[in-house]
Amino acid sequence: MTALRSIGRFLLPLAISLALLIGIWALFLRAFPQIGPRVGKTPSDIWRYLVTAPGAPAARQEILDDLAITLRDATTGFTVGMLGALGVAVVFVLYSAVRQTFMPVAMLLRSVPLVALCPIVVLVFGRGTAGVTVLTAIVVFFPALVIVMTGLREAPSQATEVVTVYGGSRWTALRLVAIPAALPSVFTAARISVPGALIGALLGEWLGSGTGLGASLVRAIPLFQYNRLWASIVVVTVVSVLLYAIVGVIEKLVLTGFAATE
């Protein structure tokens, strides 16, 4: 019951935010009538395009096919980026000399715009899935690294000292104390990184592979396919919120179960 209440408290603000977003969308089009109905599509226009129009099944299928490619790219990049961040965070926490040497380099690389890195990534890894995965992993890696490393370093010092007194190594203290204590930070990094992975995948598809929703969004503009453009943006936004919610629900279940076993 506690877990269900926690999940409800987490999901309710997301639902309210989604409703507010739809309202802001409609108000924005009303506030800027110069956009015009040909370019600016309302929520009802997109509902008609995806659900009630005669060609809605075909339109949905085209977007879902592109979405499947984008989700594949985002999932691969998210996995690579998160695992890389976890591994590097562990090394940085255990070995301060490594952290002091490479952390400034990581922050400098983080400050480079992804659009500027894209040509180099495409040149090295190609225009296929590998290039998109690298770009997506870069988006995920750096924020996750900082958040996870902060969580690992904030492990209870008294518990760490107990492990040390009983002859445990730094790895043992990390496994028994720091990693369990850092679980909230790991889930926070995952929640933040899920939307970032989608953005990275869209950017990689736009500038690199030429497939998925990232490429179809760009192709829709010169072809004046504004219904498809807006519908694709709506689908990506909804999927991003759903994935964020799924990670949040998993977080609540895991942390509630973990607390119950203590």
Per-residue pLDDT of 221-258, as tens digits, reads 888 888 999 999 999 988 988 888 888 888 888 777 66
7: pLDDT strictly greater than 80? no
Q: Which residue has the higher pLDDT, 38 or 259?
A: 38
Per-residue pLDDT of 143-174, as tens digits, reads 899 899 888 888 777 777 777 777 777 777 77
Calculate ∠ Cα 159-161-162, nearest 5°: 65
Token readout for 149 is 């490393």
Place of tokens 């980026």: 81
- Amino acid type, 187: F
Q: Which DSSP state fits 79?
A: H
Count CB-CB contacts under 10 A for residue 121.
21
Per-residue pLDDT of 104-120, as tens digits, reads 887 777 777 777 778 88
Predicted pLDDT at 159: 72
**How far apart are the C-alpha atoms of 161 and 155, rounded to whole Å?**
11
Token readout for 169 is 């190594």
Token readout for 124 is 């090295």
CB 75 within 8 A of CB 193: no
Widest CA span in the chain: 72
